[in-house]
Amino acid sequence: MGLIEAGLKYRKITLMFFIMAVILGIISFINMPRFEDPQIKVFMAQVQTVYPGASPEQVEALVTKPLEEKIDELKEVSKITSSSANGFSNIMVEIAPESDQKKAWDNMRQKVNEARLLLPSGAGEPEVNDEVNKTSCLIIHLIPPANLPVASIREIADDWKDSIKQVPGVEKIEVMGLPEQQVQIILDPSALAARRLSWTHLADALQKRNVSIPGGTLREGETGFMVEPSGEYSNLEEIKDTIIYQPVGGTAVKVKDVASVKLVHARNDVLVKSSDNSAVALAIFPKEGHTVFDVNEKVQAKIKEMKKDLPSGVEVQSVYDQSESVKKKFDELWRELLTGMGMVLLICVLGLHWQTAVMTALAIPVSVAVGFGPLASMGVDLQQMSLAALIIALGILVDDAIVVNDNIERHILLETDRYTAVLSGTREVAVSILTSTIATVAGFIPLILLRGNIGEFIRSLPLVVAVTMSASMVVSLWLVPIMRYWTAGRVKKNIREKAFGQSGPLGPFLNRLSTWYEALLSKCLKLPFLTVTVALLVSASTFMLIPIMGIQFFPYAEKSEFIIDINTPKSSSLHETEAVVGQVVRKVKEQIGVKEVFVYIGHQLPKFYYNELSGGRGETLTQLLVVSNQEPKETHQLAAKLRGELTGAIPGSRVTVRELEQGPPVGPPVSIRIKGDDLSELRTLADQVIDILKQVPGTVNVHDDMGSDTYSVKVNSSPELTARWGVAEKDIANSVRMAVDGLEISNYRKGDKLYPIVLRTSEAEDASLSNMSSIWVPSWKTGSILPLAQVATVDVGWNTGTINRHNLKRVINARAYTDGTLPDNIIKAASAKIAAIPIPKDYKIEYGGENEERDLAFAKIGKLSIVVLLLIYVIIAIQFYSLTKPAVILLSVFLAISGAVLGLYVTGTPLGFMALLGVVSLSGIVVRNGIMLVEFIEVGLKQELPLYGAILEAGKVRLRPILLTAATAVSALLPMAITGGSLWRPMAVSIISGLIFSTVLTLIVVPSVYLLITKRKLAG
């Protein structure tokens, strides 16, 4: 007794297992986490280090290079990029996709710790962030009363942060826009000079007094006592009373005698605004595995509760709520899914008896429900990629059920008893169904093996299709026969009263079509070589369309929000940047359709979208989040209008209007790397590339990432004078830093809060270029202080812009955004002129941006396509025990690819990653028809039919199921092709057009090729 017969014989037990699997699947579906987009595990980490007061060259030489060289020792590292700016180093590290992320990042932290010993004493602790892909689920703004600064709501912001952090499912909260509190010690130089002291004496006294070193455990018999040495400051008065110097027989000199001590707010280096109102931003990040809806619902309930205790005038504004975006996206995809399901059911009803149609359509929800159980255990969540995969699978989930139903009906006509008819009808097609399902799944399985960011992005798609297709096979071979057995007696009379193939309203039409197809196939079989040649030539000619088709990696996301990046000149202060931003905001607010404008000056927006990289900072950097009250199409037009009005509108500043993108992070779509050692030579080459890009129509905001040189103040000490007066270079640097930004020397702990203790020679607002020469510096010879002008000169000059590096080599990236032109077309237009630029030895020009990422992804897909075809070939070869029959069947893949190219060209759809993914998916889908045709030809030959008769009979018998399965697949994808948006439309178009083209030609080409090969074998 075989498995199929056992399932039918013990049908109640079989049905019980199906019911259990469906219930388990429904529970798994309900508990699946929900997101708007795939949760990409980015193989990237960030290392940021602050080195206050250092020039880009100093940061590069003393901070960036030592860190890079240590990190590069790791075997997992595939790419290192860095930027060294004034006082700041930022390193991005990418590891190979096959690496163990946790182990790689742990190893990198060890290397960073080793490199820390090589960094200068003034550099801060390198901060390693290996969670750059963490995306916030909710961003809110706390807005103080109009007449009060944001510092006035510090306690409220801290309370809200602590309270929301306790909500289940919340991992962390980022706060922006709130100035740091610090203990400032403002020195009185004249008081220090009168006592022949310097700031180094005061700093030394504070550091020795304020200690927090555990004393260990004291053992007294069997009892242990924790020893806590005193020394840590408990209040500001203790700081003021710290003794600096105790002369013999004289009065002690205390801190309060030579300085003032107070707890104040430091200068705010990040300004957050809701339109014109200053605000404090709270970005809430969910824990991994928690549903956005659940976390946001609980957080919103907590916010509603805390709002009741807010003082009058304090407002709360929601900036971004991911649950709203998820709901909108899910509504769209569910609508497409249900519409597709309705169309599939309609096709089944039109082409099959209504009872048969219902049972066939039942395979969809049952297969999906059965599949959700294992999918949940594989870590698949619900987002647009997994839901779109269901739509793709929708049309082919009924294929096996249609084939089984169709064959069972054929056996019922033979007047056997219903048990034998159902069993024989199922057994006869079981091997074909198994082979075709494995072949279809084989077309998707290699996509699961695609590594890197692109693999993470699409991972759920092949998993969902493969698992639900496998579930569909199980349903068709074990559940459908049971349902047909129970209904066979009721529909048997109806089937016998009609000719086979006339079930359903389309029955007569399909019958006439079958007769016409039989006549056409008969004519083609008389001239098989000519038939095959013409079909292959027509198919091959479509590939000539590829060079004139547009190529696009991923399209823009269709959303009602977009970003405006503002970069002011490198020498701009935060307030100068704020003035420029004000001009842009006013212009944006004038536009019809703008609902809100949220402003972040000095820092990028909190990460709110899956492929936006955050962490950028600096006084010259600003990001605006513009929220539209229009539909995505109108928002796209609004962004294009603003792009035209703002590009180049503010001299010296760069304003970039850009829409959110789909797919893995790419950055500027057009990016050309110029690599070498000498910055001036790199600048010369970059300027030539930029000039070429500016001449290409469709480019906007063409720039390089080095930026212009900055106006700087340089302190040049005299070795002779410093030696004469006993002044150390380190003390000069610290004295200057103390006067400009303040010098952190220790920390003050109050409760669970830690405040830096900062020495200053004046109030922050008092530091200016005019009083730089009067800065006091300590002398180790005299122990007192003297003016900086006595040992150094203060000169004004120019400083290099940002120094960038790519894999440990200096680089300048010439970049551009686009306005209505595909990046690939821009590169094509500029590449010839760029290639003509004379390149010195040891310098190199490389293409990055979208082209680089696209080429890498396309190459991976190309290699996997070969694996897919080999897998399918092996599977079919095993079924037919033949090396030629798989080649015959695989012709349908070539026909499908031709049809996909033709469909993309006719619809004006660019050839992109998703379109290519559709083509790869076709490989497994279209071979089903070829397998069924060849299988039935083989059956006819075994029944001793002549070769021509076997081919004609197989074509006639398989025409209806082939057409119905193709029609269901096409109808399921039609809603996605029409309303699926820019991401999914290319994939739907490529599958639909490829499937139609392949189905039509397969019915002619496969029988003709089979005839040619078989006749040749017989002749041999």
Domain 503-548+882-1019, CATH 1.20.1640.10 — does that match?
yes
Q: Where are the domains of the chain?
A: 1-31+352-490, 43-132, 181-267+710-799, 503-548+882-1019, 561-709+802-849
Q: Which amino acid is at 146?
A: A
Q: What angle do CA 687, 690, 696 make, to 5 degrees?
A: 150
Q: Write a three-state SS string for 254-295.
A: EHHHHEEEEEEECCCCCEEEECCEEEEEEEEEECCCCCHHHH
**For position 498, what pLDDT does the model report?**
46
Contacts of 242 (CB under 8 A, 6+ apart): 205, 206, 209, 254, 255
Q: What CATH number labels 561-709+802-849?
A: 3.30.70.1320
DSSP 8-state class, residue 853? H
Contacts of 426 (CB under 8 A, 6+ apart): 4, 8, 404, 407, 408, 477, 480, 481
Fold of 181-267+710-799: 3.30.2090
**Domains 1-31+352-490 and 503-548+882-1019 are alike in CATH topology:** yes
Burial of 215 (0-12, 13-18, 19+ CB in 10 A): exposed
User: How many whole angstroms separate alpha carbon 5 and alpha carbon 478?
Assistant: 9
Q: Dump the DSSP string for 148-217.
A: S-GGGGHHHHHHHHHHHHTSTTEEEEEEES-PPEEEEEEE-HHHHHHTT--HHHHHHHHHHHS------E
Closest CA to 438 of 408, 477, 481, 407: 477
Query: What residue has token string 């079958």?
Result: 514
Q: Which residues pair with 259 in a beta bridge?
A: 187
Q: Is the Cβ–Cβ distance between 465 and 921 less than 8 Å?
A: yes
Burial of 752 (0-12, 13-18, 19+ CB in 10 A): exposed
Low-confidence residues in the chain, pLDDT < 70: 1, 213-216, 218-219, 221-222, 224-230, 414-416, 488-504, 615, 763-770, 1020
CB atoms within 10 A of CB 814: 29
Q: Which residues pair with 794 in a beta bridge?
A: 715
**For position 665, what pLDDT does the model report?**
75
Q: Is the Cβ–Cβ distance between 568 and 526 less than 8 Å?
A: no
Q: Of 1.20.1640.10, 1.10.260.40, 3.60.20.10, 1.10.579.10, which CATH number belongs to 1-31+352-490?
A: 1.20.1640.10
Angstrom CA distances, 1007 to 407, 469, 525, 951, 1012, stand at: 21, 27, 8, 6, 9
- Compute the residue count for the chain: 1020
**For position 384, what pLDDT does the model report?**
82
End-to-end CA, the chain: 41
Encoded tokens for 729: 């270079």
Q: Which amino acid is at 986?
A: P
pTM, to two decimals: 0.82
Could you name the CATH architecture of 43-132?
Answer: 2-Layer Sandwich (3.30)
